[in-house]
């Protein structure tokens, strides 16, 4: 079965598929395993890590099941893109779901590990992690396996706002103990993972995501020509994220509708996803369509953050919500639900922005209004955001990925 794998182990360097044999690694070879290149925050952080590893002299591969997505254009020039191409994954019944594609491409990942023999494989995502464990066990190459837990496992499996995923905790309990190391993006994610899997908490390292970079600061200074952000216009409440049930944008829409009755204000939600039509319909029902905008996914959301009056995270659960850190780095005040995940850690229990109960649109409206009436100092927020710098995270990652003997 493995011998029939179609995988390109000779992707051109840099950042393209196909071409010459991979260059020798100056310090070592690191492979990052992702499902695809869609625009989720976890995958953006993975690309940030990949670029930083390459800048530090490591050979870096981005190994993906599906090489398409909004982040394809953002691939760092110093890394290779290696798509997995096992024939079974091309069947229509398999192509329809991420999970099936991951399982179908395990033989391709085995072939990659045997062909390229990276020193370490860093996997990101629930089912990505499961597939990585099986591939490493089958390959038997001695490649170190590090799993990155970027979301709250129990909430992502059992949250009432979406279809349940009861097998996720089962697979995690069975497979995660086989990893050489596990990294969680927040303390809350680590505690939840230890509870669900039975892995001792001390075996799980906590490394916050590499969010604040020089590139972020540069992009934040970009001009923005949008009529809503002209000096004579009402303040803008900003939401940023995938339009999926996890982000619970309906609660933000309802909170905004409450505020709109009391004061002139506008709402802009940046992102794309499955529930876009439902959100637009809800805005129509609430009578706020004329003051609500869904511009779609933005490669550079930071100029919007710089100019918005407040950025709101309404999520039902998270891992470490990068949008809060990004907004604070731009000097934008923030409000968040006290959702499972790292929101309370970022805001230090409400010191850097109000925290409200999940799904409570009344409390969310009041918190937004309080920030509009009395915004915090920009420098105060930016100082906190710098704790989540890329340089700090990369140093910690390398200690876990390639520990010295």
What would the two tokens of residue 199 be?
């892995």
Instruction: Give the mean model confidence (pLDDT) for residues 141-158.
Output: 86
Report d(CA 138, CA 114) in Å as an integer: 10
- Provide the pLDDT for residue 25: 55
- Provide the pLDDT for residue 17: 40
33 pLDDT more than 80: yes
Cα dihedral across residues 18, 56, 123, 4: positive or negative = positive
CB proximity list for 97: less than 8 A, separation 6 or greater: none
Domains of the chain: 2-210+389-401 (3.40.50.2000), 214-388 (3.40.50.2000)
Identify the H or E element spanning 380. helix 378-385
Instruction: Give the mean model confidence (pLDDT) for residues 208-217.
Output: 92
Residue-wise pLDDT tens digits, 308-363: 999 999 999 998 999 999 999 999 999 999 999 899 999 999 999 999 999 999 99
122 pLDDT more than 50: yes
Q: Is the pTM of this model over 0.75?
A: yes
Of 262 and 168, more confident: 262
Report d(CA 119, CA 401) in Å as an integer: 9
42 pLDDT more than 90: no
Report d(CA 138, CA 147) in Å as an integer: 17
Report d(CA 133, CA 178) in Å as an integer: 7
32, 33, 116, 174, 386 from 67: Cα distances, Å: 13, 11, 19, 29, 32
- Provide the pLDDT for residue 15: 36
163 pLDDT more than 80: no
pLDDT band for position 125 (cuts 50, 70, 90):
confident
- Provide the pLDDT for residue 140: 96
Residue-wise pLDDT tens digits, 2-26: 333 344 554 443 333 433 344 555 6
- Provide the pLDDT for residue 94: 67
Instruction: Give the mean model confidence (pLDDT) for residues 198-213.
Output: 94
Report d(CA 358, CA 249) in Å as an integer: 11
Residue-wise pLDDT tens digits, 242-265: 999 999 999 999 999 999 999 999
Residue-wise pLDDT tens digits, 261-313: 999 999 999 999 999 999 999 999 999 999 999 999 998 999 999 999 999 99
- Provide the pLDDT for residue 26: 62
pLDDT band for position 151 (cuts 50, 70, 90):
confident
Of 15-29, 60-74, 257-271, 387-401, the one with minimum mean pLDDT is 15-29
Cα dihedral across residues 143, 149, 155, 156: positive or negative = negative
């Amino acid at each position: 079965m493995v011998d029939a794998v179609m995988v390109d182990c000779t992707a051109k360097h840099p950042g393209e598929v196909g071409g010459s044999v991979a260059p020798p690694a100056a310090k070592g070879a690191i492979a990052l395993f992702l499902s695809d290149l869609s625009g989720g925050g976890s995958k953006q952080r993975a690309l940030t890590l990949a670029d930083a590893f390459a800048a530090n002299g490591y050979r870096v591969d981005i190994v993906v099941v599906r090489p398409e997505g909004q982040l394809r254009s953002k691939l760092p020039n110093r890394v290779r893109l290696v798509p997995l191409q096992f024939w079974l994954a091309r069947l229509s019944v398999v192509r329809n779901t991420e999970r099936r594609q991951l399982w179908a491409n395990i033989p391709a990942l085995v072939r990659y590990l045997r062909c390229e023999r990276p020193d370490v494989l860093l996997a990101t995502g629930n089912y990505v992690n499961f597939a990585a464990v099986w591939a490493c066990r089958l390959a038997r190459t001695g490649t170190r396996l590090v799993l990155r837990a970027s979301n709250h496992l129990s909430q992502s499996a059992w949250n009432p706002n979406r279809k349940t995923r009861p097998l996720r905790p089962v697979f995690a309990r069975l497979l995660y103990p086989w990893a050489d190391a596990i990294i969680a993006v927040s303390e809350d994610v680590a505690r939840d993972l230890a509870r669900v899997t039975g892995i001792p908490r001390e075996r799980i390292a906590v490394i916050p995501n590499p969010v604040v970079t020089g590139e972020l600061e540069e992009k934040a200074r970009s001009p923005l020509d949008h009529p809503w952000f002209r000096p004579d216009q009402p303040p803008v409440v900003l939401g940023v994220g995938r339009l999926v049930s996890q982000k619970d944008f309906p609660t933000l829409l309802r909170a905004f509708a409450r505020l709109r009755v009391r004061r002139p204000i506008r709402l802009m939600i940046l992102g794309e996803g499955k529930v876009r039509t439902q959100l637009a319909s809800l805005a129509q029902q609430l009578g706020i369509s004329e003051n609500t905008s869904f511009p779609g996914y933005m490669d550079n959301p930071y100029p919007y953050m710089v100019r918005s009056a407040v950025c709101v995270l309404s999520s039902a659960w998270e891992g470490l919500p990068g949008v809060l850190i990004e907004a604070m780095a731009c000097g934008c005040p923030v409000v968040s639900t006290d959702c499972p995940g790292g929101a309370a850690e970022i805001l230090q229990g409400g010191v850097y922005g109000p925290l409200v109960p999940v799904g409570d649109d009344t409390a969310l409206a009041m918190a937004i209004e309080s920030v509009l009436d009395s915004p915090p100092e920009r420098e105060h927020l930016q100082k906190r955001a710098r704790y989540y710098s890329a340089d700090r995270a990369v140093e910690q990652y390398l200690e876990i990925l390639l520990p010295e003997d």
